[in-house]
Amino acid sequence: MEKAPSMKAGLMARAVKDPPVYRWWALFLASTVQAVVVGASWTIMPVLFNEIAQPQPVGLGLSLVELGAIWGILPLAAAFFCIPMGIAGDRFDLRWVIGAGLVLTAVAGALRGVVDDFTSLAAWMFLFGIGLSAIRPNVSKLIGMWFPPEELGMSNGIALGSYGLGAGLAIQFGGTLISPALGGWRDTLWIIGIIIAGIGILWIFTIRSRKADPSMPGVGPDHPAGRKSLFHGMSVALGSRDIRYLAIALVSIQLGYVGLIGYLPIYLEERGLSQASANGNISVLLYLFVAGAIIIPLISDRIGTRKWVFFFSLSINALAAMATAFVSGPALTAAFIVWGFATGGIVIIFVVPLEHPRIGTELAGVATGLITALGFTGGFASPIIGNFIVEKAGGETAIVFWGSCYLAAAFIFLRVRETHPRRAAV
């Protein structure tokens, strides 16, 4: 009678010690989703705006204000839907929750190419944002299901950092190479939709969910997730001071990032750089983010602290971002390299809920959904506030403001408890 429990305990310990090889396929597919759907298929829009703004039938004849609304409506949709999609991820099989998001982004993404006016394009972009909301909060949760605690930083860094690869390729080649080769912006968006559909089919037929390793925080019958009321997870997330600080930090980061990415190409061209050179610098930033998103969380895994690795990386990030307003030549490229690499520390925001004793893998969907939703509100407000500063005080002042938002996030994060397994408070 006593052998069964000990055997079960031994099997659980072995599962933690020897995590399944399948986790690498789950990581690869999650990274592909991040790169293609979250990265390339969204970020390619600004480099297609020159074509979309052309008079019909080539484009839609949209004004600069209308193009800005098209760019901002996706974060607005995500701000509304990340929370319910996170709740869905905690209650239902992630294969189907993220799979449904991929189906919706495939359909909405492709139909962006058959619109005939501003309203229809805005509608499909909004629906695309809803689909994205099912993906973004739940990728970290899926990673937490398959990877042991000592690999959380590295695995989340690979998955979330893949965004930079897709976004960088889209910005660098989307308008100058891909669109002309495919016959224009309409066919480009159609083909991207077809590619997403293929990824969605692969996801639905091959991805598997499982319960988190028993060594993960928040796993077990005594965890708050064991109570199944629909909004209990939301109340736990909102009731956590640490989750609230994480959300405020991400709002501050998005206030900096979205405005800078949207304004810097214009600013650099006004300073005399060619369009190709300006876009190339932005691409360098995104490519280096991929490296930083893997290496910085891995450093955090190894040295045993989330808090201080995040603080130093975001502080360096802020200074490098501000420097782009004042330097030129090789120094400008160096600033983008440092900025991009240091931005990788942002991934730690999505690792902390997985390790948090009140959240853990069981409630990671709703907690990450809450953090992401509020972060997107910062992204929506960023160009409005920053462009007002540009008009009143000049581009340099606006860039310093956006960079200071990164620095504010670094200090806000110091209010979050240390969750690394080696240093977490008991």
The per-residue pLDDT string of the chain (426 residues; one tens digit each, 9 = 90 and over) reads: 434 444 334 433 434 444 578 889 999 999 999 999 988 998 898 888 888 888 888 889 888 678 777 877 888 888 889 888 888 888 888 899 999 999 999 999 999 999 999 999 999 999 999 999 999 888 888 888 888 877 888 888 888 889 889 988 998 888 888 999 999 999 999 999 999 999 999 999 999 876 655 555 544 444 444 445 556 677 787 778 889 999 999 999 999 988 888 788 778 888 888 877 888 888 888 899 989 988 998 899 888 889 999 999 999 999 999 999 999 889 999 999 999 999 999 989 988 888 888 888 778 778 888 888 888 888 778 877 887 888 889 889 999 999 999 999 999 999 998 888 776 544
| CATH code that applies to domain 21-209+229-413 | 1.20.1250.20
DSSP class of residue 175? I
Mention every residue, 6+ apart, whose C-beta is less than 8 A from residue 296.
Answer: 157, 309, 313, 341, 342, 344, 345, 347, 348
Degrees to nearest 5, angle at CA 119 with 114 and 120: 25
Based on DSSP, count helices (H) and strands (E) in the chain, helices before strands.
17, 0
Please name which of 207, 258, 253, 220 lies closest in space to residue 68, comparing C-alpha atoms: 258
Under DSSP, is residue 421 helix (H, G, I), strand (E, B) or coil?
coil
Long-range contacts of 325-331 (CB under 8 A, 24+ apart): 325/267, 325/395, 325/396, 325/399, 325/400, 326/396, 328/271
Tokens 């079960």 sit at which residue? 8
Do 378 and 254 touch, CB atoms closer than 8 A?
yes
- Residue of 30, 75, 295, 73 lying closest to 166 (CA atoms): 30
DSSP state, residue 118: H
Contacts of 136 (CB under 8 A, 6+ apart): 38, 78, 82, 368, 372
Query: pTM of the full predicted structure?
Result: 0.76
